[in-house]
Amino acid sequence: MKKKKAKKKAPRKPTKKGTTPSPLSVVILAAGQGKRMNSALPKVLQDLAGQPLLRHVLDTARALSPAAIHIVYGHGGDAVRAAFQGESVGWALQAEQKGTGHALQQAMDAIPDDHLVLVLYGDVPLLRVDTLRALVAEASERQLALLTVALADPTGYGRVVRDARGRVRSIVEQRDATPRQQRIREGNTGVLVAPARQLREWLGRLRSDNAQGEYYLTDVIAMAARGGVKVAAQAASEESEVLGVNDRQQLAHLEGVLRARRAQAAMRAGVMLADPLRFDQRGELVTGRDVRIDVNVVLEGRVELGDGVRIGPGCVLRDVTLAAGTVVHANCVLEKCSAGPDCVIGPFARLRPGAQLAAGVHIGNYVEVKNSTIGVGSKANHLTYLGDATVGSGVNIGAGTISCNYDGANKWRTEIGDGAFIGSGAMLVAPVRVGDGATIGAGSTIAQDAPAGKLTVARSRQTTIEGWRRPVKGSK
């Protein structure tokens, strides 16, 4: 999607009577094991679109600009903390999994009484930032905000129980619901915003006398209602937004939902997708106008595509910047590299980290470039490896050329001057320099600098051995 200019954060609007809104603390419950995943990884580290589930939730939380984020961890805690090492979050250990209410209690000691607390879940990754902003806006010191969802089939969800006047009175879990309550179609998502002082008191009164023997966070809804605190229920815009992950099938379903969401965003930004169902964006996409992307393209990390860029089928781009007019033909792999305007890449080319192409460069089939800069208008069209090389402008590199950059212990650079012509099958043994306008004869092994403007040839003398016969296998 097209990048927008960063805007200065607007001050939070004052609430009624001119009061300032309460600071926000976000708590992400991420202690579950996820037994049905049948994996050694904790559930919140399972991959969705190239990132752990918890990463999606954490990024959404950060977009709300909260005062603090706390993560409640438990199963596989060392792995979870290691995966998010260096993040500015608070960590709270839930050593025993005794339910969502018990999990939230572990983080509450670090949250001031005057904060609002937003509760999120590490295995519910597709919540929209706008949905949460609206939910937070409904909460106050005197009002709890609850995110609900309208369900065609509410099986497995807690039911939102309302009174005759339509006021939310409680949440009843599936296992504890009466037959009448099970017919309710308004489901609880578990996401809520509550004032910290009251929430702390409600959590302290939770009991585990239910079908699962756990401390349900949802029980605070009834406590709030009985205590005269209004419960403002807000419905999610779509069911897919609040779906959680418990097994591989659900994870695959969410992958499809996120893929479709990102494809739609790309098309709204002006990208022409040959088939939205076969477009896979796993990171951030920034595009210009009239970008065309063919089928089965995978985009990872941050990918920037200028005006008129075309990506052929079957390509993988990871942390790539391509300037206007550049064409990437089928089945190329590009990683941590950049190309100037009007380049032509592929088919079957590989640009590895550090590859930088200037304007009008051609990198052809079965050409690999690593940690190298290629000057304006230079060409390497066939079967070539350029590693740790500096190539000038207007250079022609023949098929089968290799910059021999590694001696088994160290990497060395190859320098090729402007306008040089490298014949096919040349071995350039680094460190070596080919001067401006130099020509290297085909089949040469160049181990010393080649002077500018001259032909350099380094071949062994061709010899024909008279009377030699090729060995033949003996008869059995």
User: Is there a catalytic annotation at residue 382?
Assistant: yes
Tell me how far CA of residue 329 lies from CA of 71, 147, 317, 320, 346, in angstroms. Answer: 44, 46, 12, 15, 5
The strand pairing partners of 51, in sequence order, are 48
The strand pairing partners of 438, in sequence order, are none
Given the residues 70, 253, 329, 382, the one annotated as active site: 382
Of 55, 51, 50, 52, give the one whose Cα is nearest residue 42. 52
- Asked if 392 contacts 374 with a C-beta cutoff of 8 angstroms, the reply is no
Q: How many CB atoms lie within 10 A of CB 127?
A: 22
- Asked if 83 contacts 163 with a C-beta cutoff of 8 angstroms, the reply is no
- Each as own residue / partner, the long-range contacts of residues 76-85 (CB below 8 Å, 24 or more positions apart, any chain) are 76/33, 76/41, 76/42, 76/45, 77/31, 77/42, 79/41, 79/42, 79/45, 80/30, 80/42, 80/44, 80/45, 80/54, 83/45, 83/52, 83/54, 84/54, 84/55, 84/58
What does DSSP assign to residue 404?
E
Structure tokens given for 134: 């609206």
User: Do the bridges between strand 159-162 and strand 168-172 make them parallel or antiparallel, or are there none, so unpaired?
Assistant: antiparallel
Whether cis (ω within 30° of 0) applies to the bond prior to 154 is no
Where do the H-state alpha helices sit in 5-122? 53-62, 77-83, 100-108
The strand pairing partners of 97, in sequence order, are none
Strand runs (DSSP E) across 122-158, as ranges? 143-150
User: Do the bridges between strand 279-281 and strand 230-235 make them parallel or antiparallel, or are there none, so unpaired?
Assistant: unpaired
Please identify every residue annotated as catalytic.
Answer: 382
